[in-house]
Structure 1
Amino acid sequence: MSETLHTRRLLRRETHSSRAVASVSAAVVLLAGLAWLGTEAVLSVVNQPPLIISPPALLNWAAGLPSTVLPWGLTLAGLGLALVGLMFLLVALTPGTRDLHVVGRDRTAVVVDSEVIAAAVSRRTRQEAGLDPDQVSTRVDRRRITVDVRPTSGSPLDETLIRAAVEDELSGYRIRPEPGVRINLRHEGALGI
């Protein structure tokens, strides 16, 4: 039995961050700028002193920029504005993901933090290889689980055994989408007890 549309929406909402903060921030900045320009225009029409600069003076200042500012200054300002625009575009178009993963069976779905998965994988690796807790560390991201193993000095480890243990542990979770596994066996060993 497949997931319902409602369940898929809930899971996406839990595992992806909202873009509301970026949208509201951009809207507030834009509205504040437009409100300021509108206020300056109204003050100029009724012959009142401007709050900061009158629209005719602002236009004269903008028209005189090429002759009063060095070309590299204009270039840097343009690059800065382009970078800010690119940042807003990337925030708008890229999906915001959280450090969460969907695990479960066909009829149920559970959202689990990446640190929980990393701790479980590290524990299983330590048990399988007979290592101390400080000899195994695991990083979990969206597409990959990386297990760093530092063997005890003089005791070589079998990477295939560790990989099989990690993949066996992950198969029970049924993480969606299934991440790849990378095992890093370090060359320097730890002192044994």
Structure 2
Amino acid sequence: MRPDRTIGRLVRRETHSSRAAASVLTAGALAGLWLWLALESVLALLQEHPLLVSPDHLGRWIIGVPANTVPAGLVAGGAGLAILGLVLLWAAVTRGRRTRHALHSNRSAVVADDEVLAAALSRRARLTAGLTPGQVTTTVSRRAVRVQVRPTSGVPVDRDAIDAAVGDELAAYSLDRRIALNIHILREGALGQ
């Protein structure tokens, strides 16, 4: 296997979440239900006492549910099953992305958490503008970086310098996909900073 292909597989494993937990939970619940039904059927064939309910009692109960249940209860039960089905379908179809980004490297798989990237970009913006740590907050999402700067009251900040510095920092990471950069300077400043 080529190294670049191996690196790609490692990066994908770290940036996407597994469906193993949902699959095991669903399969375990279904297997438990079928095993219980099989056990009850065997006990009924051997004419033993059932663990919970015999298959013929269960069948009669299922047949009698529509006649013995309020229509609102049937609608609620159907809606609950539909929601469960949609949740399982959504978990199976959608891509599970973790809050991480891959950084380009020819030698190894490098993955950074979005919070780590946000802290580094905040630090760069803060040092460029000469601000304290509480005056710059950064959020990193899958497609965008938003830097929010709260200047000291009465002291203007150079938006272009912050934009250039944070842009250079972001470019130095060589992320696997392009991310839009948005610098937002707040109008109200921080007092006594």
Query: What TM-score results when the alignment is normalised by the length of structure 2?
Result: 0.91
1:26 matched to 2:26? The reply is: yes
Residue 51 to residue 165, structure 1, CA distance change in 2 (3 Å): same
Q: Once the two structures are superposed, what CA deviation does each residue of 1:126-182 show, in whole Å capped at 9, x if it has no partner?
A: 011111100011112222212121121122334333222211110011111122222
Residue 138 to residue 27, structure 1, CA distance change in 2 (3 Å): same
**Residue 46 of structure 2 aligns with which residue?**
46
Percent identity between the two aligned chains: 47
Is contact 2:44–2:55 with CA below 8 Å preserved after alignment?
A: yes
1:55 matched to 2:39? The reply is: no
Q: What are the ranges of 5 or more consecutive residues in structure 1 without an aligned counterpart?
A: none
Residue 3 to residue 169, structure 1, CA distance change in 2 (3 Å): farther
Is contact 2:150–2:190 with CA below 8 Å preserved after alignment?
A: yes
Matches within 5 A, 1:1-193: 4-106=4-106, 108-193=108-193
Aligned residues: 192
Once residues 35 and 7 of structure 1 are traced to their aligned partners in structure 2, the CA distance between those partners, rounded to angstroms, is 42
User: Matched residue of 1:97: which SS?
Assistant: coil
User: Matched residue of 1:17: which SS?
Assistant: coil
The RMSD of aligned alpha carbons is 1.9
1:41 deviates by 1.0
Q: Once the two structures are superposed, what CA deviation does each residue of 1:83-114 show, in whole Å capped at 9, x if it has no partner?
A: 11111111112222222211124555411222
Once residues 68 and 91 of structure 2 are traced to their aligned partners in structure 1, the CA distance between those partners, rounded to angstroms, is 35
Once residues 82 and 154 of structure 1 are traced to their aligned partners in structure 2, the CA distance between those partners, rounded to angstroms, is 58
